[in-house]
Amino acid sequence: MAIQGLGIDIVSVSRIEGMVETWGEDFLDRVFAGSELDYCLSKRRKYEHLAGRFAAKEAVIKATGRKLPWKSIEVLSEKDGSPSVRLSLDCQTAIRSEANLFVSITHQEDFALAVAVHEES
């Protein structure tokens, strides 16, 4: 396996909150998978978690160099709280099936950041 790409993104939490207030479910449904909404909307600081996932999707796009649709990049939350990435089937044709994607997310107050690594054999 070799690293093919690295991506990073920073997102303003208040910008995400503003987009949800302006566009509501249209925005949420266009960007986030149902599992992501279930996770984030159950949290007290839901906009930080949404912003973290938004940053993670942008970081994956940078790491892969592909303009993948936001919703096709699903950020899962593992039992220990760590994030992982699942691509929808249509994207798996754009990205080789042997590819591994890794993300790390952090958020505090108005900022959420994420980095992503794209690895392939």
Question: Which residues are near ligand COA by CB under 6 A?
Answer: 49, 52, 77, 80-83, 105-108
User: Edge to edge, what strands does the sheet with 100-108 contain?
Assistant: 2-12, 111-120, 100-108
From the list 43, 46, 49, 107, the catalytic residue is: 107
Instruction: 84-87: list long-range contacts, CB under 8 Å, 24+ apart.
Output: 85/56, 85/60, 85/116
| Cβ at position 117, least distance to ligand COA in Å | 13
* Closer residue to ligand COA in complex, CB, 5/83: 83
Asked if 62 is an active-site residue, the reply is yes
Nearest-CB residue to ligand COA? 81
Asked if 49 is an active-site residue, the reply is no
CA distance 15 to 52: 12
| Cβ at position 18, least distance to ligand COA in Å | 19
| Cβ at position 90, least distance to ligand COA in Å | 25
Residues contacting 87, CB < 8 A, separation 6+: 68, 72, 73, 74, 95, 101
Tell me which residues are annotated as active site: 62, 107
